[in-house]
Amino acid sequence: MRNFEIGRITGIPIRLNITLVVFLPILAWLISREAQLSFYAEVVNGISPQTIDIAVIQSGSTPEIIGITTAIGLFVGVLLHELGHSWTARRYDVTISSITLWIFGGMAHMENLPEDWNVELYVALAGPAMSVLVGAVCYALLFVIPAQPVFIFVVGSLAIINITLAVFNLLPAFPMDGGRVLRALLARSRPYAEATQTAATVGKFMAILMAIFAVFAFAPLLLLIAMFIYIAAGAESRTTVLRELLRGLTVRELMSSDVRTVTPETTVSEFLDRVVTERTTAYPVMDRGTVSGIVTLDSVRQIKPEKRQTTTVADVMSGAPPSVEPDSDAFEALLAMSSTKGDRVLVVENGRFVGQLTGSDFMTAIEVLQGLGPRREIEIPDGYA
pLDDT digit string (tens) for 358-369?
Answer: 888 888 888 887
167 and 86 inside one domain: yes
Q: Of 72, 182, 181, nearest to 127 (Cα)?
A: 181
The pTM (predicted TM-score) of the whole model is: 0.76
Phi-psi region of 373 (alpha: psi -120 to 50; beta: other; left: phi over 0): left
Domain membership of residue 241 (yes or no) is yes
* pLDDT tens-place string over residues 3-28: 889 999 999 999 999 998 889 999 99
Number of domains in the chain: 2
CATH number of the domain residue 325 falls in: 3.10.580.10
| 123 half-sphere exposure, CB direction, 13 A CA radius | 26
239 and 310 in a single domain? The answer is no
- What average pLDDT does the chain have? 88
- In the predicted structure, residue 227 carries a pLDDT above the cut 80: yes
Query: What integer pLDDT is reported at residue 380 of this predicted model?
Result: 36
DSSP secondary structure letters along 271-301: HHHHHHHH---EEEEEETTEEEEEEEHHHHT
- pLDDT, mean of residues 362-380: 62
Contact between 158 and 139 (Cβ < 8 Å): no
Judge if 37 and 77 occupy the same domain.
Answer: yes
Distance of alpha carbon 111 from alpha carbon 12, whole angstroms: 13
- Provide the pLDDT confidence category of residue 221 given band limits of 50, 70 and 90: confident
Q: How confident is the model at residue 384 (pLDDT cuts 50, 70, 90)?
A: very low
Determine the structural domain holding residue 207 and report its residue range.
3-246
What pLDDT, on a 0 to 100 scale, did the predictor assign at position 246? 86
Residue 372 domain-assigned (yes or no): no
**pLDDT for res 163:** 96
Distance CA 167, CA 250 (A): 41
Q: Are 336 and 324 in contact (CB under 8 A)?
A: yes
